[in-house]
Structure 1
Amino acid sequence: MATRHTVVDGAVAQLRQLLGATYAVGDRLPNEKQLAEELDVSRGTVREALGVLATEGLVSRRWGVGTFVSPPLPAASLNMSTIQSYRDRVQRGGHTVAIRESSCTLDVPSDAVLAALGLAPGTQTWRVDRLFTVDGTPSASMSEHIPTELYGVAIDPHAMTSIDTDLFDMLNSHVAGAVAHTATDVAAVTVDAGQAAALGLDVGHPVLRAEQVTFDRDGTPLAHSVSLQRTDLVRMHITR
């Protein structure tokens, strides 16, 4: 049986096709009842799917008036309302995500990172570094620290160096259902020379820095991540 998430994703995909094939910028879409009949889904599913498209900037919803096709955004959208990887969030907007550079090594992170992971100073962890591209252009650099063992299970994150495996896939493959929620702090920062070279920017260019800790259901930290994201290629939408 299809899950609610799968049904909504299917409706989002169908609506995205309709937008590209049938409607022009500024056109008003049929009402939720008509769209539900056309897509053979419930009105609630249509409402959720339109909400996703609205957060991606593909449509605008005017209370009491209707839903309209929006002009295309110059950047991909990054919806932060659910636990998904960077890859999945951007690809959901119809863009191609790839890894240009990656590495997986053993490392002793800073005391601040170890404290966030609940580990003692000097503890060795896995470090996974990845440089992502969106539609062929460098878009985000990520550095993730992961304990070498969780729940007595040895962790091997080498699969994350491929675009086919994200952090959540990797963790759940070692311990099924391990990932429960994330906490992310976002700040605007400027890039130094090394960061600028990797992301194809000028030194001092502003980017978004996201520091994320991934937890299990008991609040045990599973991973610590820091990413630098170009805002001219990817826009972040946070729904709370």
Structure 2
Amino acid sequence: MRRDSAAQSALLRLRHLIASEFSPGDRLPPEKDLAEALDVSRTTVREALVVLAAEDIVTRQWGSGTFVNAPPKVASLNMSTIESYRDRVATGGRAVTLLEASCDLVTPPAGAALALQLEGGAKAWHIRRLFAVDGSPSALMSEVVPAQLFGRPIDPSPMLRIETSLYDLLNQHAPGSAVHASTELEAVCVHGPDARALDLTDGAPVLQATQTTFERRGQPVAHGVSLQRTDLVRMRITR
């Protein structure tokens, strides 16, 4: 766990370094210099550069070095770690904003109740958020969280602000509440209010992600469905 955390921290700092101090076409310093600047091992820097190359942020040329690429026209959504949508997209230099947000105490849909192992009649918070990338509606997210978690009522109102992600909310409620997520991806057509919210024509294709979040012992703590425009954000799974 500590090794993974150190590697992810180095990757995030290297992303920031590239975005703030280098331009497209620039050659990065040698791995040894980057390791000293980030206070990590050369192996950790090399692993981070492999991830960035897979994301098309840099290009590695044998014998010549590592060069910074121009930002792609479509934002990249890396699914290799458990992070918020905002943080995943923003690491590529895109502006992520929250256009709409609401939370209501409801009887959860049958699928969500089953995924969360809720007993009949149990209430849950339904949190709906519409995100934009560079000003264009890009993702519509619908999350269901139990009204009570670990014997205490949970307050979903912080998620009405972009600064708080689902993972932040859960871990602030109880440390270690969000450590693992299982996601199923499916191509679907969007209709009605959902299509209008995403500024799409009725029947347009989107990527649907159905995700259940678990705490450290394996208990499900949140279940959600997101609809994402693939013409604005490209999902990438790096292993």
- Unmatched runs of 5 consecutive residues or more in structure 2: none
- Unmatched runs of 5 consecutive residues or more in structure 1: none
Residue of structure 1 equivalent to 2:11: 8
| Contact 2:130 2:137 (C-alpha < 8 Å) held by counterparts | yes
- Secondary structure at the counterpart of residue 218 of structure 1: coil
By how many angstroms is 1:235 displaced? 0.9
By how many angstroms is 1:209 displaced? 0.3
Identical columns (%)? 53
User: Counterparts in 2 of 1:162-173, with a 5 A limit?
Assistant: 162-173=161-172
Deviations 1:49-104, CA, capped at 9 Å, x for gaps: 32342243212345677534434311111111111011111111111111111101
Distance 1:14 1:123, change over 3 A: same
Comparing 186-195 and 32-41, the one that deviates more:
32-41
- 1:152 and 1:39 map into 2 onto residues whose CA distance is 42
Residue of structure 2 equivalent to 1:151: 150
| Contact 2:31 2:45 (C-alpha < 8 Å) held by counterparts | yes
- 1:28 and 1:169 map into 2 onto residues whose CA distance is 36
Return the letter of the residue paired with 2:72: L
- Secondary structure at the counterpart of residue 212 of structure 2: strand
Distance 1:150 1:37, change over 3 A: closer
Comparing 68-77 and 131-140, the one that deviates more:
68-77
| Contact 2:71 2:92 (C-alpha < 8 Å) held by counterparts | no
**Does structure 1 residue 94 correspond to structure 2 residue 85?**
no
TM superposition outliers: structure 1 runs of 4+ over 6 Å: none
Return the letter of the residue paired with 1:174: H
- TM, length-normalised to structure 2: 0.88
Residue of structure 2 equivalent to 1:179: 178
By how many angstroms is 1:31 displaced? 4.2
Return the letter of the residue paired with 1:118: Q
Comparing 31-40 and 90-99, the one that deviates more:
31-40
User: Counterparts in 2 of 1:93-112, with a 5 A limit?
Assistant: 93-112=92-111
Residue of structure 2 equivalent to 1:78: 77
- 1:206 and 1:105 map into 2 onto residues whose CA distance is 28
Superposition RMSD in Å: 2.2
Return the letter of the residue paired with 1:15: I
Deviations 1:182-205, CA, capped at 9 Å, x for gaps: 000011111102111100111121
| Contact 1:111 1:121 (C-alpha < 8 Å) held by counterparts | no
- Secondary structure at the counterpart of residue 94 of structure 2: coil
**Does structure 1 residue 17 correspond to structure 2 residue 20?**
yes
- 1:164 and 1:39 map into 2 onto residues whose CA distance is 26
Deviations 1:191-226, CA, capped at 9 Å, x for gaps: 102111100111121111000000011110000010
User: Counterparts in 2 of 1:170-209, with a 5 A limit?
Assistant: 170-209=169-208
By how many angstroms is 1:38 displaced? 6.4
Return the letter of the residue paired with 2:57: L
| Contact 2:116 2:221 (C-alpha < 8 Å) held by counterparts | yes
By how many angstroms is 1:227 displaced? 0.3
| Contact 1:11 1:45 (C-alpha < 8 Å) held by counterparts | no
Residue of structure 2 equivalent to 1:57: 56
Return the letter of the residue paired with 1:175: A
By how many angstroms is 1:33 displaced? 3.2
Distance 1:122 1:65, change over 3 A: farther
- TM, length-normalised to structure 1: 0.88
- 2:144 and 2:206 map into 1 onto residues whose CA distance is 21
